[in-house]
Amino acid sequence: MSTISIKNRTYNLLLLPTILTVSLLILIPILAVIVLSFTNFSFISMKTSGFVGLQNYGKLLKDARFLNSIRVSLTISVFTVVLQVFFGLMLALLLHSECKSVKWSRGLFLLPMSIPPIAVAIVWKLLFTPSVPGINYLLSLIGIHGPAWFDRAGTALFSIVAAYTWKWIPFVMIILLSALESLPLDPFESAVIDGANRWQVFTRITVPMIRPALLFITTYRAIESLKMFSLVYVMTAGGPGVSTEPMNYYAYTMSFKYNQMGYGATLVFAILAVIIVVVLLMTKLFKVQFH
C-alpha cells in the first residue's frame, strides 16, 4: 500500500467520529419530524395521540392559511433579496473606491449585522409605532402624515421588509466587497485605455466577473429569508389577521399555540420542500453548476 493511500485512510478514520456525530445530529431531528408528521401528537392530549397516516398531509393540501403563508414568505423573500443585493452592491462599490475616508469607516457598516435579531425587531417596531417619534415624525418634517404601519397588510409587510433588509445588507456587502477586492486590475486598465466609461466598465467587466458571488449571495439570502421568524414574532405576530404570517410562524402557531404538534411537523416538512423547490428553481434560472 502506498504512502498516499495510508495517509488518506488515516485522514478518513480521524474524520469518521466527526462525520458520524454531525450526521446523527442532522438525521435524528429530520427523522423525528417525519415520524411526528404521521401522528396527531399533542402535549395536551398525549394519551389520545396516535398514528393517523397521511391525514395531516391531506389536511395540508386543503389548508388555505398555509398557502397564504407561502405567498407571504415568497413576497418577503423577493423584496428583501432584491433590496439587500442592490444596496449591498452599492455599498461594496463605495467601500471598494480609493477614498481613504470611506475605507476607514468600513467597520461602521457592519453594526446592523452584529445586533441580535430580537433587538433589531424591537427597535424597528418602535420606529414604526406612530406614538413614538420615529418614522412618522421624520415624515411629518416633510409634510407627510404617516400611517398606522401595523394596522394594514401592506404597510405591516413593508415594515418587516425594511427591518430585515437593514439587518442583512452588511452581510451581502462583505461577500460582494470580497469579490471586488479579488478582481485583477488588468481588464479594468485595458477598458479605460480603450475609452470605456464607468457604466460600461461596471456592466461589461465588473458584473460578469463577480457573477458567481452575486449568484451565491442571492441564493443564500433567499433561503435565509424563507426561514424568517424572529422579526415577525416581535413586530407583527403575523397580523393584521394573517397578512404577514410566513411559513415558519404558521408552523410555530399550529405547534405551540394550538398544540397540534403532528400537523406542525407536517408543516415543517412542507416548508423544507418549498425551500428545496425554490433553490432548484433558482439554480436552474441562474444556470449555476455545482461541482
Distances (CA, A) of 177 to 208, 215, 277: 15, 14, 29
Query: 51 - beta bridge partners?
Result: 39
pLDDT of residue 103: 62
DSSP 221-254: HHHHHHT--HHHHHHTTT-STTTT--HHHHHHII
How big is the chain, counted in residues? 291
Q: Say what the alpha-carbon torsion angle 111, 116, 121, 123 is, to the nearest 10 degrees.
A: -50
19-54 confidence digits (pLDDT tens): 888 888 888 888 888 899 999 888 777 777 788 889
Distances (CA, A) of 118 to 150, 167, 243, 278: 18, 11, 21, 27
pLDDT of residue 9: 79
Query: 90 - beta bridge partners?
Result: none
Distances (CA, A) of 202 to 93, 99, 194, 283: 10, 18, 15, 24
- Tell me what the pLDDT averaged over the chain comes to: 88
pLDDT of residue 66: 95
pLDDT of residue 99: 63
Helix (H, G, I), strand (E, B), or coil: what is residue 51?
A: strand
Q: Say what the alpha-carbon torsion angle 41, 228, 285, 64 is, to the nearest 10 degrees.
A: 50
Domain limits, CATH 1.10.3720.10, in the chain: 63-286
Please name the CATH architecture into which domain 63-286 falls: Orthogonal Bundle (1.10)
pLDDT of residue 73: 95
- Low-confidence stretches of the chain (pLDDT beneath 50): 289-291
**Contact assessment for residue 42 and residue 260, using Cβ atoms and an 8 Å cutoff:** yes
